[in-house]
Amino acid sequence: MTKPQPDLMASPLRPWAIAFLLLATLLTFAWYFGQAWHLDEEGLSTFSGKVPYWDFSNLWGGARLALSGHVDALFDLDRYHAMMTDLLQAPANDQEWSYPPSILLLGAPFALLPIWLAYALWTGLTIAALALSLTAFSLSRTALLLAIASPAVALNAALGQNGALMAALLIGGLSLADRRPIIAGILIGLMCIKPHLAMLVPFAMIASGNWRSVFAAALTVLAVVAASLLAFGVDAWVQFMSFTRPLMVAILEAPYGQSYQINGTSVFLLARSLGASVPLSYGAQIVSALFAIVLTVRLWHSPCADPRPRIAATAVLTILATPYEWSYDLVLLAGPLAWLIADRPTHRWIVVLAWTWPLLTFFVTFITSSPLAPLILWPVAALCYQMTRDEQRASGEESRRMTEGRTMSALSPS
């Protein structure tokens, strides 16, 4: 009789393997930070040709310009380049403002500080916010370490991106939706500073009948927009819609082969890399988004005793639903993927691959000329979806048994 072979695709991840993943991430990004902070005489990184905190410099500089009465410069590329060069004391000719005016409220306190101090505080506080949100996700210590020390978080720290904050709002909001719906709605509403990352949340909240969260989120969005209108004027929003939004669409739709597209993670960019036209690529993205919406509604329509697989599925589906997604947005998955790796009795190696993807994406895309993230993330989404459905079926059967038990007790003679 043939001895059954162990299922390597569903075996527990050994402690030495977890240590190896963390060490590889640490060494890779230690090397990256060393390279990024080696500056030339103009103050630019000799590695990237930009200031080391390039993404954060837009939030800091844009808010500083707005506070000094030059919010209109955010919507004039030539003025923005010139004024950012003056603020940074380094060339900034390849930067553009890409956010809605509401995010200026967040950047304003940091704009009052020197950029090096603001960058350090921003990085530390956003990672701390992510760690705090993951306490609501009930991670073990090992999983929390895997999340906070993940390649996605390290990449965000290196770039000064806002992904850790957005992940904190999304994971925190979804984790608290059942227990603290008002707080959950406020957290979700604050995602209006980068609204495409909250694309699936309304479908989830409506499907679950969580109207308190829906109303709290809507009121939060209205409050944030009203505050930005009072602070920066109506014209800032008008120019955002007439200038910034078309600019970002043009960046997304640019012929494939631009240097920044190596960071892409969306179905749209995968289709573009394979030679598809812009309309055909949007068609592929729409199909992916519709699947993501349908699965999200199914996941949230039924109650779930353990919400974590449902939240994990929603986070992964969010990345697959929108066309404007980049490797630094994968920090939304840091907590859910760490939980799948460390806290579940079995795992799939595809999950480990997804966890390491921000570390691998540059090399894989360079070699294959295609951003292959959707081919990794759809299997992970399917895994999380199946886990959620299994959890819901088990919860339903347990609920029926309890109901039948109470009924029998009530009918039995005393």
The string over 126-157, giving b where at least 16 C-beta atoms fall within 10 Å of a residue's C-beta and e elsewhere, is bbebbbebbebbebeebbbebbbbbbbbbbbb
Residues 135-144 have a mean pLDDT of: 83
Supply the mean pLDDT for the chain. Answer: 88
pLDDT at 303: 85
Residue 397, pLDDT above cutoff 90: no
pLDDT at 406: 59
Neighbouring CB atoms inside 10 A of 249's CB total 12
Residue 65, pLDDT above cutoff 60: yes
Question: 343 vs 178, which has greater pLDDT?
Answer: 178
**Integer Cα distance of 232 and 389 in angstroms:** 46
**Contact (CB, 8 A) for 55 and 160:** yes
Sorted by sequence, the CB contacts under 8 Å of residue 317 that are 6+ apart come out as: 200, 292, 295, 296, 381
Question: 300 vs 22, which has greater pLDDT?
Answer: 300
pLDDT at 199: 96
Residue 403, pLDDT above cutoff 60: no
pLDDT at 362: 85
Residues 364-381 have a mean pLDDT of: 94
Residue 136, pLDDT above cutoff 90: no
Question: 14 vs 140, which has greater pLDDT?
Answer: 140
Give me the helix-helix angle, 103-111 and 54-67, nearest 10°. 90
As beta bridge partners, residue 264 has: 326
Residue 53, pLDDT above cutoff 90: no
The mean-pLDDT minimum among 6-10, 122-126, 209-213, 316-320 falls in: 6-10
24-40 pLDDT tens trace: 778 877 877 777 766 67
Residue 7, pLDDT above cutoff 50: no
pLDDT bucket at 414, cuts 50 / 70 / 90: low
349-358 pLDDT tens trace: 889 999 999 9
The letter for the amino acid at 274 is: L
pLDDT at 345: 58
Assessment of whether the complete model's pTM goes beyond 0.75:
yes
Q: How far is CA 165 from CA 131, 311, 371, in A?
A: 10, 17, 24
Which of 21-30, 85-94, 364-373 shows the highest mean pLDDT?
A: 364-373
**Contact (CB, 8 A) for 150 and 354:** no
Question: 145 vs 44, which has greater pLDDT?
Answer: 145
Q: Where are the domains of the chain?
A: 39-88+100-398
Closest by Cα among 208, 202, 157 to 25: 157
pLDDT at 407: 59
Residue 61 corresponds to which tokens in the numbers above? 């500089």
Residues 152-174 have a mean pLDDT of: 93
227-286 pLDDT tens trace: 999 999 999 999 999 999 999 999 999 999 998 898 899 999 999 999 999 999 999 999
Question: 360 vs 170, which has greater pLDDT?
Answer: 170
pLDDT bucket at 321, cuts 50 / 70 / 90: very high
Determine what percent of the chain is predicted with pLDDT higher than 90: 65
For residue 36, is it left (φ>0), alpha (ψ between -120 and 50) or beta?
alpha
Residue 301 corresponds to which tokens in the numbers above? 């329509």
Distance of CA 404 to the CA centre of its chain: 43
